Each structure stands twice: as C-alpha cells, then as structure tokens.
C-alpha cells in the first residue's frame, strides 16, 4: 500500500511540474494563454507562481520565479517523502 501511495504522490508532483513548464513555455506563443488549455493551466499554475512573483522581481524582462517555484516544489516533494518514510516505517 505504501508503495502505491508514494507512486501516486510522485506522479501528481510530476504532472504539476509538467503543467508549470508547459504554462511557462506558452508565453513564447502569442495568444496561447487565451486558449482553453492556457486558461486551464493559468487557473492551476498561477496561484502557486504568484507567490514567488511577489518576492522575485523580473530581471531585464525575464521572470525567474518559475525556476524557484519548481525548485521549491522539488523540495516539498522530497520533504513529503521523508515524512511518509518516517510515518510508515
């Protein structure tokens, strides 16, 4: 059971990370955010990314906050797995 739980959680983190990367890459295409996919990704990614945009300013017009957001997501995943390991074993 614990292996299944870890696999499901890992896949959900990977899916969210992929959603963030796709959302970021959509900025390269004009009007991509106005599509259904763009609006959906905006609804699920923007709340998380906006946390980092408040603290990390754009440098020369480049937004580096998604990189930090992805790193924090990786750390959260690692921390969660560590806690699950402590609880389950």
N-term to C-term CA, the chain: 12
Q: What is the pLDDT of residue 1?
A: 52
Q: Which position has the higher pLDDT, 38 or 61?
A: 38
Q: How many helices (H) and strands (E) does the chain have?
A: 3, 0
Q: What is the pLDDT of residues 3-55, one digit of tens each?
A: 888 899 999 999 999 999 999 999 999 999 999 999 999 999 999 999 999 99
Which tokens hold the place of 79? 């921390």
Report the 10 Å Cβ neighbour count for 32. 15
Which tokens hold the place of 89? 């074993």
Q: Are 84 and 2 in contact (CB under 8 A)?
A: yes
């Amino acid at each position: 059971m614990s292996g299944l739980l870890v696999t499901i959680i890992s896949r959900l983190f990977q899916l969210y990370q992929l959603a963030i990367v796709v959302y970021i890459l959509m900025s390269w295409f004009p009007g991509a955010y106005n599509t259904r996919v763009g609006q959906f990704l905006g609804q699920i990614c923007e709340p998380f990314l906006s946390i980092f945009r408040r603290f990390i300013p754009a440098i020369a017009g480049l937004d580096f906050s998604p990189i930090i957001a992805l790193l924090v997501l990786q750390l959260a995943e690692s921390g969660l797995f560590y806690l699950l390991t402590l609880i389950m074993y």
